[in-house]
Structure 1
Amino acid sequence: MDVARHRVVVTGLGVITSIGVGVPAFLTGLRAGRSGAKPIASFDTTGFEHANACEITDFDPAAHIVRLDPGTLGRTSQFAVAAARMAVADAGLPVDRLRAGQA
């Protein structure tokens, strides 16, 4: 059976960083010369050689994941789904027609 192959190219940006979530916030952080490095707050760093990192602290998964309970996804998956949705929206494509992962 011949299976049709479809290629998808999304020409948009989806950004989740320690200096900003979303392109506008990220660019503002870059232009301001902001650093995302600071003491780690999400876990106890006692005994670790380094105690600084670029944690993502201002991310709300519910603002980006609409078809699933965000709590059913790991944090990395939440970032991936959110960044993909932002990239599709930034490209001017209809976000409501996304199928991958049904997120």
Structure 2
Amino acid sequence: MPPTPQEIYAATRAMRSRCRFGQAMLLQKFGGRITPASTDPSDRFDFGATRWRLSLLGLSATGDDMPSALDAWLRTAQIRHTIDGTRRATDGRPDCPYNGAPPLPPITNQHAKAT
């Protein structure tokens, strides 16, 4: 089953709020995979083998080193979130309990019950 937009959004927000080491640890916690670049001298002319690969929640990214691969994954997740048409909240979150409406007033001020 593919990840939901909420899972990708939550993972992106959690990773952005951490340092590089924290991002790598969170990536492992979420079940992501980091593949380091090849150090074999015979691969020095193979561009794909000299790049770090990162995959998490069905999104993949590459970079020259681990920090750039993490940045690339965060950019990929942000682009996916931006072009995803299922966002409902006005602030860009993929979910909103009120769908843009303000919360109900306190119970003492209500004139009718919400159903």
TM-score range, shorter chain: under 0.3
The structure number with the bigger radius of gyration is: 2
Q: TM-score scaled by structure 2?
A: 0.25
Q: TM-score scaled by structure 1?
A: 0.28
